[in-house]
């Protein structure tokens, strides 16, 4: 298990890499009210107590222009925000 810094909320997330090295997937354990942001379509499964919202921006900044820049660079226009 690794602990990583969540850039949006300045919190540490508990992350476990599963099925490495072939088809790796990250298992993220959230504490109540803890949040992380991921690109649309990147979630395999989640617990029923996790809420998801979708937007074109990160929680810190962004908006339509940042979303367009992500789309041009091959990333998703939309971002999903997951909260426990």
Burial class (CB in 10 A: 0-12, 13-18, 19+), 33: exposed
- List, in order, residues 6 or more apart from 42 with CB less than 8 Å away: 80
Q: What predicted TM-score, i.e. pTM, was given to this entire model?
A: 0.69
The number of distinct structural domains making up the chain is 1
**DSSP per residue, 43-70:** -----TT-EEEEESB-SSSB-HHHHHHH
Each residue's pLDDT tens digit, 19-74: 888 889 999 999 999 988 888 888 899 999 999 998 876 655 566 777 677 678 77
For residue 22, what are the domain limits?
A: 2-83
For residue 79, the tally of other CB atoms under 10 A from its CB is 23
């Amino acid at each position: 298990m690794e602990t990583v810094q969540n850039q949006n909320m300045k919190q540490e997330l508990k992350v476990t890499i599963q099925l490495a090295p072939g088809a790796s997937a990250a298992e993220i354990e959230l504490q109540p009210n803890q949040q992380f942001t991921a690109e649309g379509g990147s979630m395999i499964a989640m617990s029923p107590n996790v809420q998801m919202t979708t937007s074109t921006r990160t929680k810190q900044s962004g908006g339509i222009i940042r979303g367009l820049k992500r789309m041009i660079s091959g990333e998703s226009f939309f971002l999903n925000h997951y909260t426990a």
